[in-house]
Amino acid sequence: MFWQSILGIWLTLVILASFLYMPATQGLGESGRIIIYHVPAAWVAVLAYLMAMVNSLNYLRRKDLRFDRQAQINAELGTVFCVLATITGAIWSRGAWGWYWNWDPRQTSIAVLLMIYAAYFVLRGTVEDPERRANLAAVYALFAFLTVPFLVFIVPRIYDSLHPDLINMEKRTFDMDKKMLVVFLASLAGFTGLYGWLYNIRLRVENLLHRLEGKKEVI
């Protein structure tokens, strides 16, 4: 309860600061404030998906259904944050360049990631046996994830990228206002905490459901 309250207050402060404390960005104007939500959402999506990969590998190695539950939860959370990142990205894109969607390499990759996980959940839905479901889902997730990096090479050949880079490669500096950086980092921490909290709750629910199923089948 204590950490939940801290997290709630923290995120509230981040939201307030993103509108009141932080100045509008140069170049991107007021719509640039969305960076405080867009980048952390994308970061959590990547984090959760990577955790799902680790869980899937662990499942294949140890064949313990606990890892499968973890993989499933991480895939779910990854997808939720991935959808958030996609939507905030599209809004930002509209504000900055005038259209919601332009098959930017990052938009393409994120769309393909969403398709992979949509397929992943459909696959899970069509297999009844828990061990078989865990096995197939893990293999599919690992196999599909492997093909994502190829997009990075092929998509720029077809469409140019408009996406801004946060890290300026030439000057090796972080292109961000100091006040903005503080809010941004606070948001990053807040989103990561939110992910950890959601993950914990989902895991407890899934473990309880698993135990409940055990009770049911004995009868």
Partner 1 sequence: MVIRRFPWIRQSLVIWHKELRIEFRTRFAYSTLLMFAVTTLITISFSVGGFVPDSDITAALLWIILFFSAMAGLGRTFVQEEEKKTITALKMAVAPEPVFLGKYFFNVTLLCSLTVLVVPLFLVLLNQSVPLWAPFLTTVFLGALGLAGASTIIAAIVAKTEAKSAMMTILAFPVLVPLLLATINATRICLAGAPGTAPTTELLLLLFYNGAVVTASLLLFEYIWNE
Partner 2 sequence: MLTQVKVHNLTKAYRHRLLFRNLSFIIPDQSVFVLLGRNGAGKTTFLRILCGLVPASAGQVEITVDGKILMPQEKRTHLGLVAPDLELYGELSAVENLEFFAGVRGIPFSLTKARDLLDFVGLRGRGHDLVHTYSSGMKQRLKYAYALLHEPKILVLDEPTTNLDEDGVQLVDSIIERQRRRGIVIMATNEPREVSYGDQTLSLDTAESGNLA
213 interacts with, out of partner 1, partner 2, none, CB within 5 to 8 A per kind: partner 2
Residue 213 binds to partner 2 (criterion: CB under 8 A)? yes
Q: Within 13 Å, how many C-alpha atoms sit on residue 9's CB side?
A: 6
What count of other Cβ atoms lies within 10 Å of the Cβ of residue 189? 15
Which one of 7, 13, 28, 60 is in contact with partner 1 (CB under 8 A)?
A: 60
176 interacts with, out of partner 2, partner 1, none, CB within 5 to 8 A per kind: none
Which one of 112, 162, 176, 203 is in contact with partner 1 (CB under 8 A)?
A: 112
**From the CB of 130, what's the least distance to partner 2, in Å?**
7
Which one of 1, 122, 169, 218 is in contact with partner 2 (CB under 8 A)?
A: 218
99-121 burial, b if ≥16 CB within 10 A, otherwise e? eeebebbbbbbbebbbebbeebe
Count of residues touching partner 1 (by CB under 8 A): 29
Q: Using an 8 Å Cβ cutoff, are 72 and 202 in contact?
A: no
Return d(Cα 143, Cα 161) in angstroms, integer: 27
Strands 173-174 and 167-168, bridge-based pairing: antiparallel
Residue 63 binds to partner 2 (criterion: CB under 8 A)? yes
Return d(Cα 27, Cα 191) in angstroms, integer: 26
Return d(Cα 191, Cα 86) in angstroms, integer: 16
201 interacts with, out of partner 1, partner 2, none, CB within 5 to 8 A per kind: none
The site for partner 1 (CB under 8 A) is made up of 60, 112, 115-116, 119, 122-123, 126-128, 132, 135-136, 138-140, 142-144, 146-148, 150-151, 153-155, 157-158
